[in-house]
Structure 1
Amino acid sequence: MSEDRHKSNRVRMYLSGAEKRKRAKDKKDGEKVEVNKSKKLSHFFPRVSHVDGSCSQQPSTSKDAQSDTGVLITTGSADKVGVAKEHVDADITDDQDDGFQSDIGRWPVRSSQQMVEYWVNRGSSSLRNMSGPFVASVRSATGPQGEGHSGTVNRFCTKSFFERTLPNGEMVPRSWLCYSLSTCHVYCFACKLSNSTGNLATVGYGDWKHAKRDLEQHERSTSHCWNVIQLAKRASASCRIDEIMIRHANEVESYWCQVLKRCVSVISFLAERGLAFRGTDEIVGSHNNGNYLGLMELLAQYDSFLAQHVQQHANKGTGHTNYLSSTTCEELIAIMGTHVLDNIVGRVKEAKYFSVTVDSTPDASHVDQLTCVLRYMKNETPVERFVHFFNNAGHTGQDQANSLLRFLEANGIDIANCRGSVVRQRC
C-alpha cells in the first residue's frame, strides 16, 4: 500500500510563501546598503565654477577657455589669472583627487602602488594637455623659480615645449611632459610616479623663460632616464598606450649597452696584457691618446656601429655622454676589478684551505704598499692569485697583520683556514 504524501514525515524541499517574502526583503535591504556605499555619478565629475573677469563684467568667450576640470580660467590679465587660481585652489581643497583623474597637478604628493599600476598601463596621453588652454603661472619672489620676478605673468607655456629637436633636425615628442590645467605648471610623468625630487616631480615647473634649457637638462639627467626605464619594465610594450615612448627608451638602452660592450672588451684586452691605458691627451684621432682610445679607433675602422658613435659623440667636451672618457674607463675598471676579486674569493672559499703571502715595498713615489697574494688548491694544482693592494699602515709585523686580518674579514675569508703565511718587508 502506497504512503500518503500529505501525511508523510519527510522534510519539505520547497520554501513557504512567508520564507520567500522574508528572503526577498533581506535581498532588497542588502542592495540598498551596497548602493549607499557606492560613489555617486556626480563624484566623478568636478563642480563647475564660473570666474568673472571683473566685478561688473563676465569674461568674453573669445578670450576665455574652460578646462576639463570644470573651472573657467581667463587669460586677459594678471588679476583675472589670480582670481581663477583662487577658485581652482578652492576646488582642489574641497575635492582632493586620489590620483586617478586626468590632471597631474592634483595628484597626491606620494604615488601609491595602485596608482602607479593604473597610469603605467594607461599611459600619459590623457595627461599631456599639449593644446592648452595655457595660462601664465604667477611666480613669487620666494619661490624656487621666481626670485626677483614677484607676480609677473607675462609668459606662458607653449606647444613647442612638448617636442624636442634633435641635432639632425628631427622632431621627437616629449611624451613624459604633462601640463596641469589646475596649477598651470608642467610635470614629468615618469618622475612624478616614481616619487622623485625636483619641481617637475613635486610642485610643478612654471619658469617659462628658462623652460627650454631646463627641460633639456631634465631629460638628459640620470634620474629621469632611470625612472623612464623602470616604468617601461613594469608592463609589456604591446599592451601600452605609450608604446612609442617605451620603444624609444628600449632603443636608447640597447644603444648604450652596445657601446659599453665594446668598451669592456678593450679594457679586458689591455688589462690581461698589463698595458697602459691613457696617453698624454684624450682626443680621438690624436697619436698621443693612449692605447684605450687607440684600440677604439682601430675597432671603429671595421665596426660601422662604433664608427658612427665615434663620429657623433667623440671630442664633444665635458657634459656630453660618450663613454669614451678616462672617467668612464676608470669606473669600468673598478667594477671589473670588484667582480674579479669576488670570483677569486669565491674560489678560495670553495677550496677552504689557503696560504697567504704579504709583501711590502715602496713604489716609485716612495710610498709603501702592501701586496696580498692568496695561494689555494684547484683540481690538485696550486694556484696563486694577487687579490689586493692597500696602503701600508705601519712597518711592524703587527701593523701588517692587522691590515691583512681586516681585509680577510671584509671579504668573509676565515683566517682559521689559513695553513701558511709569508711576510716580507723591503726598505
Structure 2
Amino acid sequence: MTETPALPALWPAPLADGTVHATVTVPGSKSVTNRALVLAALAAEPGWVRRPLRSRDSQLMSDALRALGVGIEETASSSSGDGAGGEAWRVIPAALHGPATVDVGNAGTVMRFLPPVATLASGDIRFDGDPRSYERPLGQVISALRTLGARIDDDGRGALPLTVQGGGALEGGVVEIDASNSSQFVSALLLSGPRFNQGVEVRHTGTTLPSMPHIRMTVEMLRAAGAQVDTPEAGGEPNVWRVAPSALLGRDVVVEPDLSNAQPFLAAALITGGTVTIPDWPRRTTQPGDELRRIFTEMGGSCELTDAGLVFTGSGKIHGIDVDLGEVGELTPGIAAVAALADSPSTLRGVAHLRLHETDRLAALTKEINELGGDVTETADGLHIRPRPLHGGVFHTYDDHRMATAGAVIGLAVEGVRIENVATTAKTLPDFPKMWTDMLGEASRVVGA
C-alpha cells in the first residue's frame, strides 16, 4: 500500500465557505472486495477482483489469505471483457495450510469470515488483532463452527485471540445461531458453506437481524460463483439459509464503488446547498449505502441517476428525520452528524447493535456531538437528536473511521472542529483528508491549521 502522508493528531476540519460543486470518485466497496477475495480463495480455479478497495481492512484480508497459502497477484491496471480498467488482483486458489497467524486488526469481515475458512486448512491458524477486536462479539461464530465439526481453542472466551485447529475439511450440516448482534455471523458461515462436506444450513434464532442487505449481498455473490443457496426471500423457511456443497467458479468480479463511503460527500452537498456527483453509482445493488438516496432526499436534498453517475443536490435546508436504520446501521454516524445541523429533531431507531461495532457508536456519537454543544440522547435502540447551535472543539474518533467522517461533516458548518486521529479513515477510505479538501476546493477555509 502507498504510505499515507503524516497527518496532525488533531486535524482541523475545513469549514465550508460556499456551496460545494464537485465530482467525487469513491473507491471500491469494502464489503464487496472482502467477500470477493474469500470466494475467489475458495474457488476451484483462479479469478480476478477488479477495482478492489485498497484499505487497511482489505489489506488485512488479502494478507490473511496469503498466510493461508492463497496466491494474490496485484497489477497496476488490467481490463476485463466489459472494459473495466484500473487496479486488479489475480487470486490463485491453493491448498490452505498452516501453521499461520492472521492479524484481523479491527476488521469485522476478517475476524468473522476467516475462521470458517481456516477450518478448511491443514494445521493451526491463530487469529489475533487490535485490543478492540477482543471485545467484539464472535462467540456465535465459534460455537457454530464447533457444532459443524471444528476444533477451536479460545480458552473459553468466545472471543479473540483464538486458534483454529484446521483439519483440511469440515463436515458442516445444520446449525442454529443468534445473529442479532451482527449479520456477519450468517455471512461468515454461508461464504465457506459450499466447501463443507454437507454444505451448511444456518438457522437464525434471535429476535432481530440487522443489516439484511449485507446477507443479500453474500447470497448474490455466492450464486454468481455457482453456489446453490436457498433463502427466506425465495420461498424458504423464515430466518433459514441453506448452501449446498459444490465447487465455486473462479470469476471476474468488478467491485462497485463503496456507497456508504459516499455518504460524507453527499452530506456536503446537502449541508451547503451544492451538488456532488458520484460516478459509477449502480442502478441495482445490494449495498446498504444505496438507501442514502432516499434518506438524504427526505432530509432536504434531491438526486438523479444519470449516465455520469448519481447527481445529488442540496436545497440549502436540512430537515430532521424519523427513520429505522436497522438494515443500514453503518450509515448512522453520518446521518447523526447531518441531523445535528437540521432545522427539526430526528430519531434514529433500530441500531442497538452499533454498541458492538468498531466502538460503541451510540455512546460515542452522543458524547462527541454533545461536547460541541449538541443535544443528543441515547435510546434503547438508537438516538434522539435535537439540533442546537454547535461550537468548535475536539471530535474524538475512538479508532472508528465513520466517527472521523461524521466529525468532518459537522466541521463543514461549525468553525473550529478538530478531528482526533483522522488517519483512522484509512480503514475503508484511504486518502479521505485529501479527497475532502479536493472536493471542497475554494469553497472552504481551514481555521487554526
TM-score range (shorter-chain normalised) is under 0.3
Higher relative contact order (CA 8 A, sep 6+): 2
Q: Which structure: greater helix fraction?
A: 1
Q: Which structure: greater strand fraction?
A: 2
Name the larger-Rg structure: 1
